[in-house]
Amino acid sequence: MDVTADGQGYLLLSTKGEFYAYGTAHPWPNPAGFSGQFTGLAMTPSGQGAIAMTSAGQFYAYGTARPQPNPVGFSGRMVSVAITADGQGVLAMSSAGQFYAYGTARPQPNPVGFSGTMVSVSLTSDGQGAVAMSSTGQFYAYGTARPQLNPAGFSGTMTGATLTGDGQGLIAVSSAGQFYAYGSAPARTNPTGFSGGMAALAITPDARGLAAMSGSGQMYTYGSLVYRGNGDPGTTSPTDLRSRIVANANAELKNSGRNNVAKPSQCNFYSGTGRTGSQCPGPGGVQWRSEAWCADFGRWVWGQSGANTTGLGEGAITFKTYGDKQHTWVAGNLLTGVQPGDAIVYDVNKAGDWASHVGLVVAVGNTTVTTIDGNFSGGKIVQSTVTRGAKFAGKTISGYARPVA
């Protein structure tokens, strides 16, 4: 995983060679014909060049990144790769601590005396400084990179370390999600709720933005780095959470027994399931409840589909706060990376304590997104077409939240 310097994009690569490009990171074709697993990825600051590396030492260069010869004669497996800002230099490292320097990256002496295995290498922007780290938290600083104290007291193993562009700051992470910040790298809150252990991290050259990724592709972004989505392309499998959300939303759209047949217009089934609002008579004498219910509808559909709905309430803004807490909120009216099952939130105010509406995504196109909205267009459940970057029924798209199982 690596990030762009502007904080607006990041590039992810699975061990199987699947790229996920977000924001200003350029998308690349998935590599083919490789051996082993992909263990390293580095990107130029603009996001227009990248180099990927397998455990068997095969390099794949893209865009403005200069192709390099594959390393040979190493012990163990190749584990980490770093690139200079201009894409013309590369430094790669094996688990046994063997460095391979190419182009404008300065050769460095191999680290010695470490325990565990070497897991991470990071370069300064000009390639003249580097820091390598072992799984037991031993730092090795070279050239213009400032030496730092080894982290202590962590759980699991240390898995990733990244330098600021000038080499004066460093941040490292353990598999348990403990951050260690040094020099000009600001301290960040440890990620929580992840699966698969924390596996990688990257910092913008100016140290203002940071991203960390779990082994299952969950992204945690900090500072100026914009969250765009996790390393999960979604699926149309009938057993998938997103597919269930779409199926349940469509079923409720067609359910005349619940699609606001009661009066007054705010009287609805979905608020009744959450026991919010005031009681009102539903069909057959069943007690429903009356309140603005777009969020109640979204919460009910997510819950029936198997999503975790903790923190979701009767207000549309609760989907925004849910996304913030779960690290699944993606801001912006272009809906970059939106997928079926996500919840679009509108008109979030400056205080962040109110929003006007929320709708559930059921289909995604290049310029438009289809949603199913509760309590809309006369107080009914309706299907709507939302144009990316434009107003929707006079409302401004604030962003969207992804569901968490």
pLDDT of 226 reads: 86
CA distance 370 to 124: 44
Task: Give which of 337, 318, 338, 320 is closest to 329, Cα–Cα.
Answer: 320
pLDDT of 170 reads: 97
- pLDDT tier for residue 235 given thresholds of 50, 70 and 90: very low
Task: Decide if pLDDT at 238 tops 50.
Answer: no
Task: Decide if pLDDT at 159 tops 80.
Answer: yes
Average pLDDT over residues 151-178: 95
CATH 3.40.50.720 fits domain 241-401:
no
Break the chain into its structural domains and give their ranges. Answer: 2-223, 241-401
H helix count then E strand count, the chain: 4, 27
Task: Decide if pLDDT at 284 tops 60.
Answer: no
CA distance 366 to 184: 40
Instruction: Tell me, letter by letter, the H, E, C secondary structure of 36-102.
Output: CCEEEEEECCCCCEEEEEECCCCEEEEECCCCCCCCCCCCCCEEEEEECCCCCEEEEEECCCCEEEE
pLDDT of 135 reads: 96
Contact 320, 401 (CB under 8 A): yes
Query: CA triplet 3, 4, 6: central angle to 5 degrees?
Result: 130
Beta bridge partners of 133: 120, 139
Contact 82, 41 (CB under 8 A): no
Task: Give which of 326, 344, 338 is closest to 404, Cα–Cα.
Answer: 326
Percent of the chain at pLDDT exceeding 90: 71
Which residue type does 243 have?
S
| Residue-wise pLDDT tens digits, 314-332 | 899 999 999 888 878 888 8
Task: Decide if pLDDT at 234 tops 60.
Answer: no
* Helical packing angle, 317-326 and 294-304, nearest 10°: 40
Average pLDDT over residues 106-134: 96
- pLDDT tier for residue 200 given thresholds of 50, 70 and 90: very high
CA distance 172 to 150: 10
pLDDT of 228 reads: 80
Average pLDDT over residues 189-211: 91
Which residue type does 247 have?
A
pLDDT of 21 reads: 87
CATH 3.30.390.50 fits domain 2-223:
no
- pLDDT tier for residue 144 given thresholds of 50, 70 and 90: very high
DSSP 113: S
Alpha carbon 203 to its chain's center: 14
List the structure tokens of 228: 């765009």
CA distance 15 to 35: 11
Mean pLDDT of the chain: 90
Average pLDDT over residues 278-288: 71
Helix (H) or strand (E) holding 132: strand 129-134
Average pLDDT over residues 189-218: 91
| Residue-wise pLDDT tens digits, 2-54 | 999 999 899 999 998 989 888 889 889 999 999 999 999 999 999 999 999 99
Cβ neighbours for 321, distance < 8 A, ≥ 6 positions apart: 311, 352
pLDDT of 239 reads: 42
| Residue-wise pLDDT tens digits, 285-309 | 566 888 889 999 999 999 999 999 9
> How are strands ordered across the β-sheet holding 169-174?
158-163, 169-174, 179-183
Average pLDDT over residues 345-374: 94
